[in-house]
Amino acid sequence: MKSTGIVRKIDELGRIVLPIELRRTLEIGERDALEIYVEGSSVVLKKFRPSCVFCDGSKDIETYKGKNVCAKCLRELRGQ
């Protein structure tokens, strides 16, 4: 894991602010969803990108019966 040298304090509501430089570099905009992971004693934030439950692809994602499925896998499910 690479250190950025940036240190932020958590406010009284448990929030932190991601610096604008970091958000621009990682293409994180206002209202973007972030996934939260835990690796050992580290907290990892990752920009949420829906992916296919079958192939993990992130192109042409649709919702099928409540699950994210790419167009290719959806065609396979429908037998086309």
pLDDT tens, position by position, 20-78: 999 999 999 999 999 899 999 999 998 888 899 999 898 899 888 888 899 999 888 88
pTM here? 0.61
Distance CA 76, CA 46 (A): 30
At position 34, the amino acid (one-letter code) is L
DSSP state of 13: T
CATH 2.10.260.10 domain span(s) along the chain = 1-48
Distance CA 61, CA 47 (A): 16
**Cα–Cα nearest to 55, from 71, 37, 79:** 71
User: Right CATH number for 1-48 from 2.10.260.10, 3.40.50.1820, 2.120.10.30, 3.30.70.1380?
Assistant: 2.10.260.10
Taking every pair of C-alpha atoms in the chain, what is the biggest distance, in angstroms?
54
